[in-house]
Amino acid sequence: MVNKIRKQLTPRQEGILKAVEGFILERGYAPTIRQVGRLLSIASPSAVFKHLASLEKKGYLTRDGGELRLAGQPAGGARVRVPLAGLVPAGTPKEAFDVSPDSSVDIPDWMVGRRRGNIFCIRVEGKSMIDAFIDDGDTVLLERTNSASSGEMVVGLLEDGSVTLKRLRREEDGRTFLVPENPAYKPFAVENLRVLGRVIGVLRKY
């Protein structure tokens, strides 16, 4: 239950809260610490983390199973079933997967919205997206699409038939890169990438 008596925010906290609210409303999932920093030109991830923690303590943000939410955003309620694909590596790309209608996961209705029927889930294997709050074993919710904007997290099918979960980056010179969110992994250039879906949410149990 969220405390209705909220403490006053600093100007910086107000800016961060507005940025987080806008990001969630536009994309359906919370931004990473680095994304918040880029939105507000804050170079230090630890500084962003401290502000987010303060917003949580003051009742403006909450966490449900490790997932950042706006205060008052429903954590439970109605649920829908969406198809579950096999493991998708967030590390070294591996063989392609199939989405089986016989396997499914219950998802909060608010995460699906009007996109119902065009959503599927994957299980993540690996830690290359850990700084985007996507860890080994997490269930990631995706919207089926064959296109995505630079900066979005996608599941991509590579020329050799393997698939991987990474952040898409398109350069002005036309080159396309898949970028991990873990400094232990390096971005790599791809050609003829086929986007299978873009990330719209993450589910996690502790």
Residues known to be catalytic? 128, 166
For 112-147, the DSSP string reads HGGGTTSEEEEEEESSTTGGGT--TT-EEEEEE-S-
Q: Residue 81: CA atoms inside 13 Å, Cβ hemisphere, count?
A: 6
DSSP state, 23? H
Say how far apart CA 153 and CA 33 lie, in whole Å: 15
Say how far apart CA 136 and CA 90 lie, in whole Å: 8
